[in-house]
Structure 1
Amino acid sequence: MTTHVAAPPAAAVEGTAAERAGDLLSRLGRRARSIASIARPITWVLLAAALGLWLGGLILGWRELVIAAVVITAVLALCTLFLIGRTAYEVTLDLNRTRVVVGERAIGALTLANGGSRAILPSRVVLPVGAGRGVFDVGRLAAGDSVEELFAIPTQKRGILQVGPVAVLRGDPLGLFERFHRRDAPVDLFVHPRTVLFDGQSLGFLRDLEGLPATDLSPDDVSFHALREYHPGDDLRHVHWKSTARTGTVMVRQYEETRRSHFVIALSRQPADYREPEEFELAISAAGSLGLRALRDSQRVEVRVQGRALPAGSGKQFLDSLSGLQHSSPREGSIVELAGVVGADLALASVVVLVCGSRTSAEQLRVACSRLPFGARVLAVVAETGATPSLRRIGEADVVTVGALDQLAGALRKVLA
């Protein structure tokens, strides 16, 4: 019996061949880019000059051009020899702290070890830090040896700095060729905003442990309001048996809903609300100080900015989120739209703090406060660098203006007086 095996379709064979050719070209392209990245811009200029001199010397028969071409070619060839060698360091990057406050220095250590059986020739190690970088010259490292380099990172601005990845750089003395080998994963350094501590409990806003009573009635809460007749579906646990026995009608308890200690911070990051970058930083520091105080008082804290909510489950998480905060785009709305989002999403907030800059008008604050949850205590903090602390009323809200972070605690004491 003869078995016939069907040949694959010609289209399938062509498709497979095309895919293989594409993969080959892709690998060749990556290898070419890797080789091209070794040469510095000046190297390409010298290569072009050498080629031109070779052609000119051979075509025109000028010995001087040929000699110049030989010299340049020899220099390029000698410089490539410096790329030869092992750079198999075992790299350890250690920061003593991954979270610092603006103005503090982050201290770190970079350890390079030779875990191989042969020596590693001298090289340079590049450590990127944010937009800058540090360069360390490492001498010849024998097998089994290690070297430690200490460094300090100044932090003049709030933000999240990426430290690393460490790159081992091999190159020539003339700087014509450079070869990088990345050796570790980057580490994030959080530069937190400055904050101040407050004395006292709960910022003085919530004096009732059970919360602030609202006008909404509820069948189940902690604030007793009145009795009413039983309706089908009511929870029998709330039947008031003494009144039922006295009146002959089943009576159930009715309660007032209460607003728990729900602390909300609405921080505007709209550039139009701030006169200068320092005001934005002051507003972030004020919001951070208020949020940390509320968290220490075991309140539930929610933080909203234009476009999103910031994590605030703990003080570290809250400050981390403030570290990376940037201005919003105009289409994400002003403080009025931000207040509208708070009013719609956090209707049971007990305290709402609006934080903005000096360019926010009184009318904007009035409209923003009108959109906040009904019955909530409202405080507005206006950051205006260099201003004298002041207190005013806009509608039902207390509005404090602070010109520096250390004025915040005194301004809040005036509100509570």
Structure 2
Amino acid sequence: MNEDAAGPVGASRGSVAARERSRTRGGQVARGGVDASFATGTRGLTNARTRLVGDRTGPVADGLVLVVRVAGGVRRVTSRGVTVVSGVVTPVGWAMLVAAPVGLAAGLVLGWQELLVIGWAAVVMLLVAAVYLIGRNAFTVELHLPHERVAVGDDASGSVTVQNPTRRRLLGVSVEVPVGVGLAELGLPGLRAGESLTETFSVPTTRRGVVRVGPVRTVRGDAVGLVRRELEWTGVTELFVHPRTIGIASSSTGLIRDLEGNPTRDLSPSDISFHALREYQPGDERRNIHWRSTAKTGTYMVRQFEESRRSHVVIALSVARDDFAGDDEFELAVSVTGSLGVRAIRDAREVSVVVGERTPEFAKRKVLAVRELSTLTRNRLLDDLAVVERDESALRIDDVARVSSTQVPGVSVAFLVVGSSTTLTAMRAAALQFPLGVEAVAVVCDPESVPGMVRVADLTVLTVGYLDDLALSLARAAAT
């Protein structure tokens, strides 16, 4: 009877132990205090590998991925070679290269004088065009941008100065300046000895990002247009187009743990803000004994304080494509993040601005990590925000909050900046990732909605339709 009963019990205990060992192996804590099984899971992963083979592993799946990657590399190398050659020979030049041998060969075989004339004419044109590729102009070219950083919508321009340092007159030349994805073409006349000329051009700032200006190049080619030779004279200058930001009142939203702010509800045996008196307990410091109350009660009484700590604000911006309904919402979210971060930097508060990392295209597992933007200065933060883009394989806001809660210690206020596609359940799940006592504020960026504020348990949800609504929403949240 006991043996029969012990059998199932022993088996059950063995299975429980096996499950515990499996859970221990599979749930080892990864770097940063995050569950490794969660960090390497495939749930919600979308990249090139998952589109090819899904969650399959093994030699067949790895071989298919390898073939695709090799084919992509060959295609890129071939494309670069074709680009270099096509940068010198124009489509008309390629036509002449084909017409010359074909015309000569067909004329000799068929005995047609007309084809021979066409072939030799093409040869002469190619030889004359090759002469234009010889030599180098003795220009001095300088590129100048008056500003390195501008906001979206601001006017921005650049200038190109071409000087003739020689003692002879130089012929006119065509100057091209790549500006982002566009091209500024400047036609400069001939310059006498020692003469210089400056031409200006505009730089588009309609969208946030980094606009690469240059290199300035001069273009030489024949009159027919068979070849063109480009000579680069300057390097590439970058113009940072920052997201638009607004000024926010220097007031605390929610619980700010700071010596110059509001104390917390946590009690401490030694601090600044006095709370109450209590009886002495073993381990209390004697310097905190209140001797006047001790004399009245006949029992040792010690002071008790409300804990006040240095505030640490975390601003988590979701860059997952599924968290936003469109580009307008994401641009608004970037502006909201910049406005909050700039205000915290100006107030000299400790602030961390984080975005979710993306999973590489051919990774087998989801990467659970966040990237912390620079908050050393206002410009450094806005420089990093200028290049932030949405990504299909980036972490959702709940994953970003989970990693941030483990990597950023002493958080007092957490701002979760998301779009209209993020559900309230996901925002609450993200808020619950932070320790108790952390004030969580979700900012939903939706240009199609009316601004408002909703309080759900320990989470404050602010809906922002325009960037100017942020200051009013924060003031209302602080008042409540």
User: Is the 8 Å Cα contact of residues 248 and 471 (structure 2) preserved in structure 1?
Assistant: yes
Among 395, 400, 406, which residue is 1:333 paired with? 395
Q: Deviations over 1:329-355 (max 9, x none)?
A: 42x421000111121112311211110
State the 4+ residue runs in structure 1 displaced beyond 4 angstroms.
Answer: 30-37, 202-205, 210-231, 238-243, 250-257
State how far apart, in whole Å, the 2-side matches of 1:34 and 1:277 are.
35
Q: Deviations over 1:271-302 (max 9, x none)?
A: 10001110000111111111112222221221
Among 395, 398, 413, which residue is 2:457 paired with? 395
Over aligned residue pairs, what C-alpha RMSD do you find? 3.3
Q: Within 5 Å, which residues of 2 pair with 1:212-227?
A: 213=263, 222=272
State the match for 2:387 in structure 1.
324
Among 411, 423, 432, which residue is 1:361 paired with? 423
TM-score (ref. length: structure 1): 0.81
User: Is the 8 Å Cα contact of residues 454 and 460 (structure 2) preserved in structure 1?
Assistant: yes
State the match for 2:378 in structure 1.
315
State the match for 2:361 in structure 1.
none
Among 357, 363, 371, which residue is 2:433 paired with? 371
In the TM superposition, residue 141 of structure 1 has moved relative to its aligned partner by 2.2
**1:99 is the counterpart of 2:149:** yes
**Matched residue type, 1:100:** V
Aligned partner of residue 437 in structure 2, secondary structure: coil
**Matched residue type, 1:152:** S
User: Is the 8 Å Cα contact of residues 85 and 120 (structure 1) preserved in structure 2?
Assistant: no
Closer/same/farther in 2, CA of residues 200 and 122 from structure 1, 3 Å limit: same
Moved more, 176-185 or 80-89: 80-89
In the TM superposition, residue 122 of structure 1 has moved relative to its aligned partner by 1.9
Aligned partner of residue 170 in structure 1, secondary structure: strand
**Matched residue type, 1:283:** A
Name the structure with the higher strand share: 1
Q: Within 5 Å, which residues of 2 pair with 1:25-174?
A: 37-174=87-224
Among 249, 254, 273, which residue is 1:199 paired with? 249
In the TM superposition, residue 373 of structure 1 has moved relative to its aligned partner by 3.2
**1:405 is the counterpart of 2:472:** no
User: Is the 8 Å Cα contact of residues 79 and 172 (structure 1) preserved in structure 2?
Assistant: yes
User: Is the 8 Å Cα contact of residues 80 and 177 (structure 1) preserved in structure 2?
Assistant: yes
TM-score (ref. length: structure 2): 0.71
User: Is the 8 Å Cα contact of residues 340 and 372 (structure 1) preserved in structure 2?
Assistant: yes
Closer/same/farther in 2, CA of residues 398 and 82 from structure 1, 3 Å limit: same
Aligned partner of residue 468 in structure 2, secondary structure: helix
In the TM superposition, residue 83 of structure 1 has moved relative to its aligned partner by 3.1
In the TM superposition, residue 260 of structure 1 has moved relative to its aligned partner by 1.3
Q: Count residues in correspondence.
A: 382
Moved more, 350-359 or 169-178: 169-178
Q: Deviations over 1:350-397 (max 9, x none)?
A: 211110000100100111100023212221100011211111112201
Closer/same/farther in 2, CA of residues 182 and 312 from structure 1, 3 Å limit: same
Closer/same/farther in 2, CA of residues 350 and 33 from structure 1, 3 Å limit: closer
State how far apart, in whole Å, the 2-side matches of 1:230 and 1:138 are.
88
**Matched residue type, 2:438:** A
Aligned partner of residue 298 in structure 1, secondary structure: coil
Aligned partner of residue 46 in structure 1, secondary structure: helix
**1:295 is the counterpart of 2:345:** yes
State how far apart, in whole Å, the 2-side matches of 1:117 and 1:395 are.
80
State the match for 2:32 in structure 1.
none
**Matched residue type, 2:185:** V
In the TM superposition, residue 224 of structure 1 has moved relative to its aligned partner by 6.7
Aligned partner of residue 162 in structure 1, secondary structure: strand
State the match for 1:348 in structure 2.
410
User: Is the 8 Å Cα contact of residues 144 and 158 (structure 2) preserved in structure 1?
Assistant: yes
Query: Percent identity between the aligned chains?
Result: 39
In the TM superposition, residue 143 of structure 1 has moved relative to its aligned partner by 2.9
Moved more, 258-267 or 147-156: 258-267
In the TM superposition, residue 253 of structure 1 has moved relative to its aligned partner by 8.6
Closer/same/farther in 2, CA of residues 362 and 161 from structure 1, 3 Å limit: same
Closer/same/farther in 2, CA of residues 90 and 183 from structure 1, 3 Å limit: same
